[in-house]
Structure 1
Amino acid sequence: MENMLERLRQRDEKALEYVMYQYGNELKRSAYLMVKDQQLAEEIVQDGFVKVFDKIHQLQDESKLKSWLMTIVLNQCRSKIRTKRFRFPFLPFDPSEREIEAGEDESPEELVVQMQKSESLVEHIHNLDHHYREVIILFYYHDYSLEEMVEITNVKKSTIKSRLRRARMQLRDRLEKGETINEAT
């Protein structure tokens, strides 16, 4: 859409609806992966879109709209994590949300093993410290570059690299040990 920033600055609801449609699912997924609570994630994203109207004057470059929105949502997630200090429940893995199709070479048993590995990885990602979880989500789930992650998180590139390395090491160690979620925490 043409002149999106200007339309948002004029509080054009159609422009906001377009932005919500364009980025809403990705923002909800990121919030969900951070806070592990579907309702809270939706609330965070809704609050984030309200902030768009209030803070749109701060954004000068329309090409950075997506990363700016992600920054707002992740900041709200961090705030919720700090203020609530709640222990995250593990989200049940819902196989119906995964689109895993059996190839000619894959048996149903192999698919089950593949799904169990995915479930285990998700469990361990959820139990990482929020700094590590955040960089894993941005880098692997959303394919952000390190430079984009610097912009979104307002953290030095070297710190992001370090967090990614530590997160990978923790995940690899836990998965190799075959830890269950209760052992890892």
Structure 2
Amino acid sequence: MDIEYYVEQYGDYLYRIAYIYTKDRQAAEEVVQDVFIKLYETQQFEQKSSEKTYLTKMTINRCYDYLRKWKAKKAQIVHYFMKQEPSGEQVVVEGEERDVIVEAILKLPLKYREVLLHYYYDDLSIAEVASYINIPESTVATRLQRARQKLKDQLPAIEWEVLRDV
């Protein structure tokens, strides 16, 4: 098994997912490292799903393990998890808006963050999100609706296109 291929192909993607769940850069790095170590040691990928799906599910499960382990530990998060290129007024404005949205999303409970992440960031359908996190589709739809409403309440002065019809 060529572990370097998996790290190069999926490392950044898995890190972003882990960061959304853990809200901690070091923890996200550790989670992703654990995923790759486990993949290398067990070499149990049976190709019943895509590599990306398999690794994503492993990452989510490791994040849940981390969160259970550190449940009592709370940390303030105001860091960026997306790169921002400072060139031109539009890029600055978009970066500021993105930061506000990211900050608001990170304040949401995990059950809402994870459906938003998979639905909007990964561009998955409700059925695919339900499959990833092992909950009914109706629960995903409800959580999406509630997450949008919570974001709308947090960002009242800003009219975000995605929140208009909530």
Per the normalisation by structure 1, the TM-score is 0.74
Aligned-residue CA RMSD (Å)? 2.3
Q: After the TM superposition, which residues 35-114 of structure 1 pair with which residues of structure 2 at under 5 Å, given as runs?
A: 35-54=22-41, 56-57=43-44, 59-61=46-48, 63-85=49-71, 86-93=73-80, 97-99=83-85, 101-102=87-88, 108=89, 112-114=92-94
Shift of 1:142: 1.6
Whichever residue aligns with residue 63 of structure 2, its letter is C
Whichever residue aligns with residue 155 of structure 2, its letter is L
| Contact 1:67-1:148 at 8 Å conserved across structures | no
**Structure with greater Cα Rg:** 1
Structure 2: give runs of 5+ residues left out of the alignment.
159-166
| Contact 2:85-2:91 at 8 Å conserved across structures | no
Give the 3 Å change call, closer, same or farther, for CA 100–168 of structure 1 in structure 2. Answer: farther
Q: After the TM superposition, which residues 125-164 of structure 1 pair with which residues of structure 2 at under 5 Å, given as runs?
A: 125-164=105-144
Q: Which has the higher helix share?
A: 1
| Contact 2:24-2:77 at 8 Å conserved across structures | no
Structure 1: give runs of 5+ residues left out of the alignment.
1-11, 103-107, 179-185
| 2-structure distance, mates of 1:145, 1:72 | 20
Q: Deviations over 1:7-58 (max 9, x none)?
A: xxxxx2xx22111211111000111122121111011001011222455436
Give aligned pairs, total.
157
1:28 matched residue in structure 2: 15
Aligned match of 1:119 in 78, 81, 99? 99
| 2-structure distance, mates of 1:168, 1:94 | 20
Whichever residue aligns with residue 59 of structure 1, its letter is E
Give the 3 Å change call, closer, same or farther, for CA 19–58 of structure 1 in structure 2. Answer: closer
Per the normalisation by structure 2, the TM-score is 0.82
Q: Deviations over 1:120-155 (max 9, x none)?
A: 111111111011111111111121222322222111
1:174 matched residue in structure 2: 154
Give the 3 Å change call, closer, same or farther, for CA 59–163 of structure 1 in structure 2. Answer: farther
Whichever residue aligns with residue 92 of structure 1, its letter is H
| Contact 1:67-1:151 at 8 Å conserved across structures | no
| 2-structure distance, mates of 1:173, 1:67 | 33
Tell me, yes or no, if structure 1 residue 19 matches structure 2 residue 6: yes
1:3 matched residue in structure 2: none
